[in-house]
Amino acid sequence: MARSSPYRGPAPYVFLGPYLILTAVFFVYPLLDAAALAFEQTNGPSSRAFVGLDNFRFLASDPVFHHALVNTTVFALCSVFLQLPLSLLLAVLLNQGGDRFKGLLRLVLFSPNLVGQIFVGILFSVLFTPRYGLINRFSHALLGWGLEEQWLGNPALVMPAIVLTSLWMYVGFNMIYFLAALQAVDKSLEEAARIDGAGRWQVFWHVTLPSMRHVLVFVVLTSIIGSYQLFELPLALLASSNGTGPDNSGLTVITYLNEVAFNSGDLGLGSAVGWSVALIIFAISLVQIRFTRAAEE
């Protein structure tokens, strides 16, 4: 395809103008400001004072922040090791069958994603009601356990409740990506492996999975990044206990940020939390990319 004739004029700058202006004002400036804010203490937006590394020192020693960090990490691990395998299983099952069926099932399994996290949180906060909630009754009928369980009031059950809710919400979302990747796998490769005498499981493990590694990396990365930004779901789910759960058992890093920055007015400390999250995400992305590079060579 021939490139279009060279054009020398203002058009591209005009078309990109809104992006350039808005990015300068609402991205570059706040980013620089965030770098400055992290070393300052503020009380509301107007009064600022330089405090050096105090914000980071405070975070390093604040048990509440550590609790938030642990909770969020547990959630991220559950996303990767619980939710993604389930999504993959559903995608594989879905990919085996005829097309008419596939479209409908895909639609159903994806549908929770249309509902915002806040609305899902509100809905599930009632589903987890002791004695009457759908989940309590279901678990009682199936397992004989959990009718009177206080999912959202018992610190030991708060994280499981958040993970269960996010499973309901996101299993179908990642399944869509896996399904698209499965459909793009070269059928002749799988066929060749089968002719060479490989079993179903071997074909899947040695042929199908490696050929969808790009999507796997993408989904794992976005899941981890999304997990570290978890905020709205626990906030709505735990609205009856301040959005953080009893004993901060459902506190996430972003809930913590929201609390210190916008409820207590210390935007400096909030920025420091923001940088910590950014650093964690950046480090994980780097490790992940290294890891897959090494695996490919």
Partner 1 sequence: MNPLRLLVCALVFGFLLLWALSPRRPRLALAYLRLVLLGSACLLVLAPFFWLLAAVFKDRDYFNEYLFFPPLSEWSSASLNLDNFRRLLAGKPSVTGTVYFWQYVLNSLFFACTSTVLQLLFCSLGGYALARYDFRGKTALMTFMLGSMMIPGVLLMAPIYELMVKLQLIDTYHGLIIPGVVGAYGIFLFRQAILGVPAEIVDAGRIDGCSELKIYYSLVMPLVRPMAAAFCLVSFLGNWNAFFGPNVFLHSQAKLTLPVVLNLYVSQYGSDYGVFLSGTALAILPPAVLFFALEKEFVGGLTSGAVKG
Residues 56-75 that bind partner 1 (CB under 8 A): none
Whole-angstrom distance, CA of residue 257 vs CA of residue 136: 32
By CB under 8 A, tell whether 234 contacts partner 1. Answer: no
By CB under 8 A, is residue 224 in contact with partner 1?
no
End-to-end CA distance of the chain: 33
185 within 8 A of 211, measured Cβ to Cβ: yes
- Cβ proximity of 167 and 83 under 8 Å: yes
Q: Which of 59, 76, 94, 224 binds partner 1 (CB under 8 A)?
A: 94
Q: Supply the minimum distance, in Å, between the C-beta of residue 39 and partner 1.
A: 13
Closer of 80 and 123 to partner 1 (Cβ): 123
Give the interface size with partner 1 as a residue count (CB under 8 A).
102
Region near partner 1 per CB under 8 A, out of 51-59, 64-72, 73-81, 86-94: 86-94
Q: Which of 72, 125, 208, 249 binds partner 1 (CB under 8 A)?
A: 125
Cα(250)–Cα(161) distance, integer angstroms: 9
Which of positions 239-258 make contact with partner 1 (CB under 8 A)? 239-240, 254, 257-258
Residue found under tokens 């009601």: 129
132 binds partner 1 (CB under 8 A): yes
- In this chain, which of 105, 163, 193, 284 binds partner 1, going by CB under 8 A? 105
Residue ranges in 271-290 that form contacts with partner 1 under rule CB under 8 A:
271, 274-275, 277-278, 281-282, 285
For residue 264, the tally of other CB atoms under 10 A from its CB is: 13
8 Å CB contact between 225 and 281: yes
Give the separation between CA 116 and CA 197, rounded to whole angstroms: 47
253, 277 Cβ separation under 8 angstroms: yes
Q: Please choose, out of 54-62, 63-71, 167-175, 191-199, the segment that lies near partner 1 by the rule CB under 8 A.
A: 167-175
User: How many residues are listed for the chain in this entry?
Assistant: 297
The residue from 159, 181, 203, 224 that contacts partner 1 (CB under 8 A) is 181
- Locate 125 and state its tokens: 């906060």
Q: Would you state the structure tokens that stand for residue 95, as one six-digit string?
A: 């990919």
Figure out which of the listed residues 64, 67, 137, 220 binds partner 1, where binding follows CB under 8 A.
Answer: 137
Question: Between the CA of residue 18 and those of 14, 23, 31, what are the distances in Å?
Answer: 8, 8, 18
Which residues are bridge partners to 42 per DSSP?
Answer: 48
> Judged by CB under 8 A, which of 24, 53, 77, 134 binds partner 1?
134
Contact with partner 1 (CB under 8 A) among 5, 98, 99, 197: 5
43, β-bridge pairs:
47
- Does 138 engage in binding with partner 1 (CB under 8 A)? yes
Piece in contact with partner 1 (CB under 8 A), picked from 55-63, 71-79, 125-133, 189-197: 125-133
Degrees (nearest 5) of the Cα angle 67, 69, 72? Answer: 110
In the complex with partner 1, the residue whose CB is nearer, 142 or 294, is 142
| Residue 30 token pair | 């706040």
Q: How far is the CB of 2 from partner 1 (least distance, A)?
A: 6
Stretch that binds partner 1, among 62-70, 76-84, 201-209, 232-240 (CB under 8 A): 232-240
Near partner 1 by CB under 8 A: residue from 168, 194, 204, 209: 168
